[in-house]
Homo-oligomer: A and B are copies of this chain.
């Protein structure tokens, strides 16, 4: 279990290398993604992008998210009962704890859990391609002194 290391890779370079055009909407969306620590959904990204350039459409946000997801630059998470939320893929792998009261997302990682998952899959005759581990909880109230 550990904290996320900040990281800001150069996606424009990667996109160019893949023969994908760097457009104004894409640059703006990319800046938003690399500049945030949270897990915004498409609508939030749309609004932040719109604050920079009124003409960017929601479809373009969705299209760009799909593009970046395909490149492995971002991860898409479908947490319970809400729109998909995105985060930059640069950090190392982690799972999520969702605060049921605030919607906050806390990242964590456990090598031991990952190892157990592999073991279980192996025993069942499977190879894990990916997994989803989400804890939904509420903040423990501070124990009175």
Contact = CB atoms under 8 A, between A and B. Distances in A.
Interface of A: 1, 78, 80, 97, 99-100, 106, 108, 110, 112-113, 116-117, 120-140
B136 A133 contact: no
Given A132-B134, A135-B121, A140 B116 contact: no
B125 A136 contact: no
Number of copies of this chain that the complex holds: 2
A140 B127 contact: yes
Given A78-B80, A116-B113, A138 B127 contact: yes
19 contacts: A1-B120, A78-B80, A100-B129, A106-B126, A113-B113, A117-B133, A122-B140, A126-B135, A126-B137, A127-B139, A127-B140, A128-B135, A128-B136, A129-B138, A130-B136, A131-B134, A132-B133, A132-B134, A133-B133
A75 to B, nearest CB: 13
Contacts of A122: 140
A49 to B, nearest CB: 25
